[in-house]
Amino acid sequence: MSLLTVLSVILLHSYVTLSSDPDPVQDFCIADMESATKIQPCKNSSAATVEDFVYSGIKLPGIFSETGLSAKSVNVNVFPGLNKLGLSFVRADFEVGGVNVPHIHPRATEIAFVLEGRVYSGFVDTENRVFAKVIEKGEVMVFPKGLVHFQMNVGDKPATILGSFNSQNPGLQRIPTAVFGSGIKEKLLEKAFGLSSKELSKLRMKLAPQELS
């Protein structure tokens, strides 16, 4: 291999491994949520105030789901000041025994800090190996981009986790809902999971998409 080839491979590799959301080209670009056309994506910077860079919506947990989880995402959709900055945040609260069902963030790696409690946390790699353990208050765990991951409060008190993402809009796909609550043809799911149509209807009823914020 020529030196040039070696160099281009190295450069390409570092580009690929370093890239997440694109780098900003301005100090900031507060998303203009009013702009219907999206032709002018940034709020006029002369009109920016400190309030554009503060989000107060996660002081408290939100409404708990049937699985005992309240997850409040702080992404660009609720916090326009994050626009083009390549990161976002989440506060997740768990009731005792509460579960964050297996899910994926297609556009971001997540690093999660246990603020309170004991949480069984893990992910599954593309060889179906499970990397999971109970992490405690003060510990962090990383969930690589795009891999299925999950959490359960195994302590005897409520638990709280704070997470960061290297995307302003990580995206979220819950596996149960994506598979059984999305309207994939019944025959396919019956065959894929070896379910009777009765068992499948039960799952579908339970997993019809829930709204979230």
69 touches 93 (CB < 8 A): yes
Q: Which residues are annotated as a binding site for Mn(2+)?
A: 103, 105, 110, 149
For residues 43-72, which are near ligand NAG according to CB under 6 A? 44, 46
Closest to ligand NAG by CB, 49 or 128: 49
To ligand NAG, the closest distance from the beta carbon of 46 in angstroms equals 4
To ligand NAG, the closest distance from the beta carbon of 85 in angstroms equals 21
Closest to ligand NAG by CB, 44 or 49: 44
Q: Which residues are annotated as a binding site for oxalate?
A: 100, 105, 110
To ligand NAG, the closest distance from the beta carbon of 77 in angstroms equals 24
Strands of 21-109, DSSP E: 69-74, 88-94, 99-104
167-204 burial: b if 16+ Cβ within 10 Å, else e: bbbbebebeebbebbeeeeeeebeeeeebeeeebeebb
CB atoms within 10 A of CB 58: 18
Closest to ligand NAG by CB, 24 or 41: 41
Amino acid letter for position 101? V
Pairing of strands 118-124, 148-153: antiparallel
Q: Which residues are annotated as a binding site?
A: 100, 103, 105, 110, 149
Residues near ligand NAG (CB under 6 A), total: 2
Instruction: Tell me the CA distances in angstroms from 206 to 19, 80, 122, one per residue in order.
Output: 38, 33, 24
To ligand NAG, the closest distance from the beta carbon of 22 in angstroms equals 22
Closest to ligand NAG by CB, 46 or 196: 46
Closest to ligand NAG by CB, 17 or 37: 37
How far, in Å, CA of 13 to CA of 196, rounded? 47
To ligand NAG, the closest distance from the beta carbon of 81 in angstroms equals 17
CB atoms within 10 A of CB 208: 12
- The residues binding ligand NAG (CB under 6 A) are 44, 46
